[in-house]
Amino acid sequence: MLKKILLTSAAMMVSAGAAYADYSLTILHTNDFHARFEPISKYDAGCSSEDNTEGKCFGGSARLVTAVEEARKRSNNAILVDGGDQFQGTLFYTYYKGKLAAEMMNKLGYDAMTVGNHEFDDGPEVLRGFMDAVTFPVLMSNADFSGEPLLADKLLKSTIIERGGEKIGLIGLTPHDTDELASPGPNVIFTDPSDAVQGEVDKLTAEGVNKIIVLSHSGYNVDKAVAANTTGVDVIVGGHSNTLLGDMEGAEGPYPTMVGNTAILSAYAYGKFLGELNVTFDDDGEITEAVGAPIIMDAAVSEDEVTVARIAEAAVPLEEIRNKVVAETSAAIDGDKNACRTMECEMGTLLADAMLARVKDQGIEIALQNGGGVRSSIDAGPVTMGEVLTVLPFQNTLSTFYVPGSTIVEALENGVSQLTDVAGRFLQVAGLTYAYDGSAEVGSRVSDVMVGGAPIDLDKVYGVVSNNYVRNGGDGFKMFISAENAYDFGPDVADVVAEYLIQNGPYTPYTDGRITVK
C-alpha cells in the first residue's frame, strides 16, 4: 500500500483528532565517517589540538557521543543508524582496521548500519572481524553473498528492531559497482538496488512491519531512483555521495528530500554533522509528519572527556606508522612551493604518476594534481610514512571522472590563471603535456596540449584522476563539479603515493618536459 505524507497543518489537525495513537520516532544518522575519530578542520582534514581549543574544529567521536546523548534526551523513541563507509581515511584505519570503529560505534549505541564499499577494502575477512565485534546488525540486501562463508552466516539483508513497542524494518544497500570500487572477492555478486529493496520490503510487510527504513550507501541519485521505483519504503538514510541536505549553505537539496512518499536523508560525511529526523506515523504506518535537520558538530558541541582520552590513547601507536620507513629515494624529491605552483616539479610528477598508475587499468588517461596540494619536499634516502603525510596532509581521496577535452583545456587555463600569486591551482600532470605563456591574457595562455602523444580532441571524453578537492571545485576547478561518472571516494592519495614509491623503489626523482614554459 502506498503511504501518504501528510505535511500540511490541516492534515496534522485531522491526524491529531483521529482515534488512532500516533507513533513518533527520532532517526539519528551518520554516513561516510571514514575513521575521523579525531576532530577535523573546515577542509575535512586533520585539525590541531591548538585549533580545536580555539573552537576551529568539527566532529570527532567525542562530540558525537555528546550530541547523540543530547538527542536521545529530546526523544521518547530514537534509533541511531549509519549509512556505511566507517572504514578507511586516516591512520586509525590503517592501524586498527575495523576494531576502533567497532569500539566507538558500540559506545555510541548504533542500532544498525549498512555495508559501504570501503568496508570491503581489505576483503571479507576484515569486514567479518568488524561484524563479530559490533553489537548491532550489519546489512546489505543487494548482493548474493551466500557463496562467501565469511559473510553468509553473519551479514543480513534486512532486520527488524523494536522501539516503543513498534516494529521497525531496516534494509541495507551498498553500491552496485562495489566489485569495481573495493575488494569483496569473487564470491559476492552485487544486484540491482531497487529490486533488492522491494524484495525485502515485501518480506517485512508479510511479517506485519509497516515502518520501513533503508540504510543506503548508494548515493543521492540512486536513493532518489530507489524511492521512485519501489513502494512501501518510508525513509532512506543515504551515504556514499557525501551529500549534505538541509537549508544551510552547500546543501544539495531539502532535508528530508521527498520522492513520492519516501523521505531521503543524508548528513554529509566525516562526522561533521549528526542527522536528526523526527517522524510521526499513524496506526497504519503512514507518515503524518517528517521534519528535522543535520546538526553541525562544531565547537558548540562539547567533547565527552572519556572519549577524548580514549582516542588520544588509540592515537599513540600511530606515531610508529608516521616513523615507519615505507620506501627509499635515490635523491631528494623537490616539492618547493614556488616550483610546484609555476612549473613542472619533481614532486608533482611523482604524485601525478602515482595517481595515474593506480587507476590506469580502469581506462583513465590523465592525472591532474593541484600544486597547492604539494606541501613539502622529501630528503634523499629512506622515506617514512610521516614524510609522505607531510607532503600530502589533507587526507584527500582519489577521484576519477570523465570530461571532454574542452573541459580539460579549461582546467589547464584555470591552473595558470594566477601565476603571479603563485596560486595552488597550478596543475601538475601525467598522461598529457602542455605549454603555457604566462605573459598572455588569462584564459588564452595554454597551448600544445597533447594526450598520449596526440593533440587533445576537444570533443572526446577522457577519463581523469585527481583528488576529491579538485574534483569538487576547489582552487577554481568548478568545471569538474558536473563531471560524468565521478567517484570521489578512492583511497587516500598519501597511501597511493606510498605504495607507488614501494613498487618503484629506490625511486629516482625526475621531470621530463611534460610542462613547457614559453
pLDDT digits (tens, 9 = 90+) for 285-310: 989 999 999 999 999 999 999 999 99
Lowest mean pLDDT among 89-98, 299-308, 344-353, 425-434: 89-98
Distance between CA atoms of residues 388 and 31, nearest Å: 28
Q: Please determine, for residue 426, whether its predicted confidence score (pLDDT) is greater than 50.
A: yes
- Please tell me the distance from the alpha carbon of residue 38 to that of residue 476, in angstroms, as a whole number: 29
* Strand pairing report for 446-451 and 432-436: antiparallel
- Altogether, the residues listed in the chain come to a count of 518
Strand 461-467 vs strand 366-370: parallel, antiparallel, or unpaired? parallel
Query: Distance between CA atoms of 302 and 299, rounded to whole angstroms?
Result: 7
Residue 378 scores a pLDDT above 60: yes
Which grid coordinates are listed for 500? 607507488
The three-point CA angle 154-158-161 to 5° equals 100
SS3 168: strand
Task: Give the mean pLDDT of 434-463.
Answer: 97
pLDDT at 390: 75
Residue whose cell numbers read 527504513: 213
pLDDT for position 206: 97
**Any idea what the Cα angle at residue 411 is, between residues 348 and 268, rounded to 5°?**
85
Query: For strand 432-436 and strand 398-404, is the pairing parallel, antiparallel, or unpaired?
Result: unpaired
Bridge partner list, 401: 464
SS (H, E, C) 139-161: ECCCEECCCCHHHHCCCECEEEE
All 3 cell numbers of residue 84? Answer: 556505511
Question: Pairing relation of β-strands 235-237 and 262-265?
Answer: parallel
Type and span of the H or E element at 189: strand 189-190
Residue type, 389: L
CATH 3.40.50.720 fits 325-517, yes or no: no
Decide if pLDDT at 499 tops 50. yes
pLDDT tier, 320 (very low <50, low <70, confident <90, very high otherwise):
confident
Q: What pTM does this model have?
A: 0.73
CA distance 426 to 126: 39
Give the model's pLDDT for residue 358.
Answer: 96
pLDDT of 469 > 60? The answer is yes
The CATH number that domain 23-316 falls under is: 3.60.21.10
206: phi then psi, degrees, rounded to nearest 5 = -65, -20
What pLDDT, on a 0 to 100 scale, did the predictor assign at position 88?
A: 81
Distance, CA of 285 to CA of 211 (rounded, Å): 6
Cα 28 from Cα 278, distance rounded (Å): 9
| CB distance 292 to 18 below 8 Å | no
Show me where the domains of the chain are located: 23-316, 325-517
The beta strands (E) that lie in 417-505 are given as: 427-430, 432-436, 446-451, 454-455, 461-467, 484-487
Over residues 390-401, the pLDDT tens digits come to 788 777 899 999
Cell of residue 385, nine digits: 610514512
Question: Which one-letter amino acid corresponds to residue 353?
Answer: D
Let me know: does 332 contact 391? Beta carbons within 8 Å. no
